[in-house]
Structure 1
Amino acid sequence: MFSEHHSSVLRKTRSRRRRSKRNQHQSIKSDHRTRINSPAVDRFHEILTDLKRPGSRFASYTINELEPICQQIAIQEMSSSTTTINIGSCPLVCIFCQHFIHEPITLYCGHTFCDQCINDEQLSSTINCPRCPHDIQGQVQSPIVHAREKSYRKNLFLHQLFDRSETLQTICENITSCRKGKKEYSKGNYQQAINIYSQILDKNNHDHLALYNRAKAYAAIKQFNHGLTDATHVVALKPHWTNGYICQGEILFDMNHFTAALRSSLKGLVIDPDNQMGKQTMARHLHAVLHNDDNNTDDKEIMSTMKKEFEQINKTSLVNETIMETMNSMTDTNSLTMCKSIQSSNSCFCLQFNSKKLNSRDFECSICVSLLWIPITTPCGHVFCRECLIRSVDNTQAQCPICKSSLEEFFPMLIRSYVNKTEIISKLIETYFPKEYHERQQLYEQDNIQGVSIPPSLINNTESTIFEIPIFVCVLILPHCACPLHVYEPRYRLMMRRANETETRTFGMCQFDGEIDTFADYGTLLHIRGLIYTPDGRSIVDTIGQRRFRVIERGMKDEYHTARVELIRDHQIEEHEFNDLFQFNRDTYNRVREWFDNLDSHRKTLIRQQVEEYPSCDDLIQGLVDGPSWTWIMLNVLPIEPILQYTALASQSLRIRLQMINDTIDFQLNQQQQQQQQQQSTTIISSNDDDDQ
């Protein structure tokens, strides 16, 4: 009883909603008839009047010279328009053809389009991806141009996924038929092409691609009225698609309605002022208007065209709402869309995507056999986790793990983060498998962040805390000292990538200790200041020493070393010795500076190359965990035995380190005196020999 009552109420509610919307459309329609002279027409006539004013130089321009003028007009109209142009939020829609993505090709920017749209010869040779933010366009090679040059193949993962949906299969069959019609059109078989498009429209009379192509075919056999009807229907279905207005304008142009044609081509160019075909078309229409006087006739044609457009928009809106209501009634109320919004049935395919046939196992990476994380599509059309693909190349060759196609040109772009995650696959996973996505995120963090990420609070903490870090076994590095690294081993490539992606960008470095046959008990945290990847995946890393640590427990992870460590700091300075140590620090600095100033120019140059900039004397203050920074820099520069440097690193006494520096300076000064005495003795002997001769 409850379910029957509920269904009855639902049907009555939908019926009332339909009647309400129908009444609204009727009132809008009648209101529109009284306001057919819209501000848009007035603005259009103002533009024409300005272009055709007496003495205007535009009448002498060629069609090519009018192209930049047309672009400027379109940009001005776009800036003054109050309508927001949405290029399409549904990831399943190809922006170029405004239809479902058929034979999908994924670019390195992560966006996906139809294969024929990508390879369309009418597209500009310098076109950028329309889905990419404008602020990054032009910084690297256009993803579309790159895909053309490198002959990207269709995304096999998405192709197989779409084949599972019966609704999408029907849509793809219509697109395939549409392409057959285009082949017949290109051969000059226009009537055959019209027949193919009509068969598609018999199944779905709102297929804008079939209408668009049939309009062109009608125009080719001079049936302009039929063509104009189809083109106007296209504009109503896709009001933000440039090609629809261009097609409408070309048919009006062939009918010698030049002003009406110019209005249509202008509306198309306003949507995309950089569209090369749009600029050429509008320039040709404008040239005809400037050299023909048909304003009175075309005013009527403009009004007639606007009425047809409004009637088609009105019909299309009602049909779309009916379709959406039907689909919503057939779909679970809790269904999800990747767009996060319900659009018209012609602008979004999310609701037609049968998610019930999907399983999270369908989205597993073939390398790690886990849910895809940051899915990357290769030029050969295969999909992997980003990190899995990089690690595969690290340990083998730059080739696809499945088909063995070369990735020598793709891999440098991937390692330098030019390649973005595949948007559609990522949204599918996040939308339809949120629980599995969250679990995969935790697994990724466990594998790649835990044991690598060091919170800033721990580094700056003065208390004793134990935590885990990755260890780079190489050389002894002291705090505050720069350390350039060339990382080429696969295990350290992985470690460096993980460390570089964390908030603190920090890892530990220890020297190898032959006595215990592993890395030493004391080391230094290094902060990554800069990292550059080479084309083959190696990296040049600029680091600088931070805090010192003591190793508590050693471990391994993915073939590189790890350790549980405890940060160490200098002992607290007692009040009765602070003043003495304060002066000792200054005196030692002055002695080192005097020694440096007396060096020859060659040795000074060598030291400056090591220290970037000669350090100033930072005074001793209470609370410094590692003491004055200049002492570490000079301990790294002075000719001190490595065993003594390691002793200084492990020492928690500033006095011991200052004494080491003083002892080294004493040794250096003694050597300088001995060298001077030897030089003097040599000079005396040589002068005596000269006297004897």
Structure 2
Amino acid sequence: LVHLQSRASPAPPGCRTSSQLQPLPRPRGRSSHARAFRGGNFELAAEIYGSQLAELPQPERGLCLRQGDALARAGRMAEALEAYSAAARLARLRPEELRELAESLALRLREKALRLPPWPGGAAEGAGEALGDPACCRPPALLGCPRCRRLLCEPVTLPCGHTRCRRCAEPGGCCCPTPRRPASARLNVVLGNLLEKWLEGESRARRLRAEGDELRDGQELAAALEKYSQALESAPCKCSLIAQRAELYIMVKNYQQALHDADALCQTRPLWPKGHYVKAQALSGLGRTEEALKEFLYCVALNPDWSLMKKEAQKVHHLSNLGGDTVLENSATLALREIPAILVDASDFECSLCMRLFYEPVTTPCGHTFCLKCLERCLDHNPHCPLCKEELSEFLASRTYKKTLLTEELIVRYLPEELAERKKVYEEEMKELSNLNKDVPIFVCTMAFPTIPCPLHVFEPRYRLMIRRCMETGTKQFGMCLADELKGFADYGCMLEIRDVKFFPDGRSVVDTVGVRRFRVLNHGQRDGYNTANIEYLEDKKVEGAEYEELVSLHDSVYDQAVAWFTSLKDNMKAQILNHFGSMPGKESEPQSNPSGPAWYWWLLAVLPLENRAQLAILAMTSLKDRLIAIRRVLIFVTRKRPR
């Protein structure tokens, strides 16, 4: 507490006897002083408080304190001290009662001694910066850990795609809902190598500092001091490290050495509040309380939102001799640090699988980085890292291949031209894969028909890749053809559209598709292990007049025949068909409205007991009349042959 009560000084203005007072206007109400104070009219508030004190037979301690606050805010420091002294004689002062005085002194110091502009105020962020590293010690753009705000040390990439220091990559170290670091998470090799190449000395100092932090946390203070001293030898900017070492000296009560480090800080970075903070702590430890108070006030003057320093300033003894006319030189605001262009090499960001610049980089739990599409393709064949062969079954099962955001941001910042070219190549590949006439992916398996669902169980690596590409391009379509011993697959097929995909932990998937259009194969090909084809789509030839009337009559007749056949089936057989293919579509009023003909026809062709080759021959027909005649023959045949 401030020992103001020991000062033998006359009563402050407003605490004199009535005979000594000049007549003052009587305040309009008890709250007028509060309104004046809140409105910033501190001179008026001080006079009102003085007037109220003059009317009392004995000074009231609370009024003396409030008068001192108003005088301090008005800049009348000598009179303010007298008012506080009057309050102290009535009862010992508490630190919190000197808040206005401490703030007023600090703001006056900011204006008169530091010659700084008025504080913008209200920024909680500013208080955090007071203890943060100065601009000169901050890492280059993008290479700082978002949690500790220092240069990344042993960078670990979390499953969410964000990168943190190893020590910072713990629960709560990321804003994502589930960023928990797997127990087996390793150093991100690409980013670790970049830090060593771009910032060799700074990275070494950062590692030594991290080792010192661990020793300090374990109360091995002498060893921690040694690590900090070693780190200072490599650090390009030493301010932050010196401050940390000074704090450690204070912990071991070596206040003289702490003061030596703090003095160096205040000379190097005169407008960094942290330097004055550690200096104040060192001076307090040495019992030099008046000098300590001055440093605490410097902290508040440099950052008035720093509430901790206000409390410290309120606690320090002896408010006399509060600072001289020392003017601290302004520090220029440092621009964001950048990596020299000569150190940036595109080969440092090269995927070891495609040997091209990373596109959508993904880091595995073992710390290796690949293009997303390259990694997925490798995991189709083998659930192991392509480089170190570590098992990635759990990583594969989660299917949460989040992009490594920092690697991508570094490429965007330092290799924009190379990235633009890489993106162009990728988009050209996607455009080529999106072509539904040329090099169309072909799934060689079974018969498929327009409008009919066709669920598929995909387990072969080549088809995993094919399905994924269909999803990535947005077409969600591929062709289905029967196998052919000579050509590889049949000359006719049906395009399927993917409606849903369900993945299993081992990489298998169930793909829900439905038939869309028929096609004819013009020529066969292959891409990355799966079949492709150039195709042309088939459409029924439309008829008019008498031919149309004949077609409608035939259509209705065959439909009725189909309904009669299905109705005559045994219940268990009907149940199997309905379970697999669903109900038979209704008869359409216009048989030629769809280029492939009515939906009920394809449903019937799918459920009839026909060999695949016979179904394929009917699929290839472009005459609805011919198909209706063919299916009528089949219906007659199966009706006659059905066992009674």
Are 2:470 and 1:425 equivalent residues in the alignment? no
Which residue of structure 2 aligns with residue 553 of structure 1? 523
Deviation (angstroms), 1:238 = 11
Report the CA distance shift for 1:213/1:534 in structure 2 as closer, same or farther (over 3 A).
farther
What is the distance in 2 between the residues matched to 1:217 and 1:613?
83
CA distance in 2, matches of 1:484, 1:204: 63
Once residues 606 and 563 of structure 2 are traced to their aligned partners in structure 1, the CA distance between those partners, rounded to angstroms, is 15
Residue 30 of structure 1, CA deviation: 5.5
- Describe the superposition over 1:170-212 as per-residue Cα deviations: whole angstroms up to 9, x where unpaired: 3323323322432442353546646765886896778557646
- Distance in 1 (CA, whole Å) between partners of 2:595 and 2:168 is 62
Please tell me whether residue 129 in structure 1 is matched to residue 174 in structure 2.
yes
Unaligned runs of at least 5 residues, structure 2: 1-109, 125-138, 290-307, 317-326
**Within 5 Å, which residues of 2 pair with 1:578-593?**
578-593=548-563
Candidates 384, 390, 394, aligned match of 1:399 = 384
Conserved? CA contact 2:555–2:591, under 8 Å: no
Q: Which residue of 1 aligns with 2:167?
A: 116
What is the TM-score of this pair, normalised by structure 1? 0.60
2:443 match: 472
1:548-599 Cα offsets, whole Å, 9 max, x none, are 1111111111121111100110002223333442343334333323333333
Larger radius of gyration: 2
- Choose the corresponding residue for 1:436, options 412, 418, 433: 418
CA 1:372–1:189: 2 relative to 1, 3 Å = closer
Match of 1:484 in 2: 455
Opposite residue 449 of structure 2, the aligned amino acid is L
Q: 1:565 to 1:298 in 2, by over 3 A?
A: same
Indicate conservation of the 8 Å contact 1:206/1:237, yes or no. Answer: no
2:433 corresponds to which residue?
Answer: 452
1:342-387 superposed Cα distances (whole Å, 9 cap, x missing partner): xxx4xxx5x1x22322222222222222222222212221222223
2:535 is aligned, of 547, 565, 575, to 565
Q: Does 1:367 align with 2:412?
A: no
**C-alpha distance in 2 between matches for 1:478 and 1:237:** 75
1:160 to 193, 209, 213: 193
Pairwise mapping of residues 69-148 of structure 1 onto structure 2 (< 5 A)? 91-118=142-169, 124=171, 127=172, 129-130=174-175, 132=176, 137=177, 142-146=178-182
Match of 2:476 among 477, 491, 505: 505
- Partner SS for 1:170: helix
> SS in structure 2 opposite 1:117?
coil
SS at match of 1:100: coil
8 Å contact from structure 2 (residues 204, 231) kept in 1: no
Residues in 1 aligned to 2:251 and 2:588: alpha-carbon distance in whole angstroms:
83
Aligned to 2:585, what secondary structure does the other structure show? coil
* CA shift for structure 1 position 221: 4.7
Q: SS state of the match for residue 159, structure 1?
A: helix
Check if 1:408 corresponds to 2:393. yes
CA-to-aligned-CA distance 1:304-330 (integer Å, 9 cap, x gap) = xxxxxxxxxx999x6361x32xxxxxx
Worse-matched range after superposition: 581-590 or 488-497: 581-590
- Range moving further from structure 2, 479-488 or 638-647: 638-647
> Which whole-Å deviations, capped at 9, do the CAs of 1:106-157 have from their partners, x for residues lacking one?
1222211101212xxxx54xx3732x4xxxx2xxxx33342xx2x2111121
Structure 1 contact 398–408 (Cα < 8 Å) conserved? yes
| Matched position secondary structure for 2:454 | strand
CA distance in structure 1 between the aligned counterparts of 2:220 and 2:484, rounded to whole angstroms = 82
Q: In structure 2, how many angstroms separate the alpha carbons of the residues matched to 1:571 and 1:442?
A: 42
Q: How has the CA–CA distance of structure 1 residues 602 and 207 changed in structure 2, closer, same or farther, with 3 Å as cutoff?
A: farther
- For 1:497 and 1:560, the matched residues in 2 are separated by 13
CA distance in 2, matches of 1:237, 1:454: 61
CA shift in 2, pair 1:500/1:194, >3 Å: same
Question: Match for 2:212: what amino acid?
Answer: G
Contact conserved, 1:585 with 1:620, CA < 8 A, in 2? no
Q: Does 1:319 align with 2:331?
A: yes
Q: Say if 1:470 and 1:507, in contact at 8 Å, map to a contact too.
A: yes
Q: Cα–Cα, structure 1 residues 29 and 424, in superposed 2: closer, same or farther, change >3 Å? A: same
Q: Is the 8 A contact 2:147 2:173 kept in 1?
A: no
- Give 1:614 shift: 3.4
Residue in 1 that maps onto 2:464: 493
Report if the CA contact (8 A) 2:155-2:164 is conserved: yes
* Partner SS, residue 369 of structure 1: coil
Verify: 1:379 aligned to 2:374, yes or no: no
> Match of 2:517, SS?
strand
Cα distance in structure 1, aligned partners of 2:401 and 2:161: 7
- Partner residue of 1:185? 216
The residue aligned with 1:527 is 497
CA distance in 1, matches of 2:487, 2:123: 84
- Residue 220 of structure 1: how far off its partner (Å): 7.0
Which residue number corresponds to residue 272 of structure 1? none
Mapped to 2, the partners of 1:640 and 1:222 lie a distance apart of 95
Letter in 1 for 2:409: K
In the superposition, relative to structure 1, how do residues 597 and 111 fare at CA in structure 2: closer, same or farther (>3 Å)?
same
Of all paired residues, the percent bearing the same amino acid is 33
Residues 475-509 of structure 1, C-alpha deviations (whole Å, 9 max, x = no match): 11111111111222222222122112121111111
Question: Is 2:509 the partner of 1:539?
Answer: yes
Aligned counterpart, 2:578? 608
The alpha-carbon deviation at position 521 of structure 1 amounts to: 0.8
Q: 1:374 to 1:105 in 2, by over 3 A?
A: same
Count of residue pairs brought into register by the alignment: 484
CA positional deviation for 1:545: 0.8
Structure 1 contact 471–510 (Cα < 8 Å) conserved: yes
Determine if contact 2:480/2:496 at 8 Å carries over to the other structure.
yes
The residue type paired with residue 173 of structure 1 is: R
Is residue 584–residue 604 contact of structure 2 (8 Å, CA) maintained in 1?
A: no
TM-score (norm 2): 0.65
**Do the aligned partners of 1:570 and 1:625 also contact (CA within 8 Å) in 2?**
yes
Structural mapping, 1:226-245, within 5 Å: none
Once residues 525 and 213 of structure 2 are traced to their aligned partners in structure 1, the CA distance between those partners, rounded to angstroms, is: 64
Aligned with 1:527: secondary structure?
A: strand
Contact 2:447-2:481 at 8 Å conserved across structures: yes
* Residue in 1 that maps onto 2:250: 218
1:657 lines up with 2:642 in the alignment: no
Which amino acid in structure 2 is aligned with residue 155 of structure 1?
N
- Offset, 1:446: 4.8
Distance 1:172 1:518 in 2: 58
Whole-Å separation in 1 of the counterparts to 2:153 and 2:251 = 26
The superposition leaves residues 401-442 of structure 1 with CA deviations (integer Å, 9 ceiling, x where unpaired) of 2222222222223xx3x1112222222223333333233334
Q: Deviations over 1:590-621 (max 9, x none)?
A: 33233333333211111111213432223326
2:532 and 2:524 map into 1 onto residues whose CA distance is 6
Determine helix, strand or coil for the equivalent of 1:666: helix
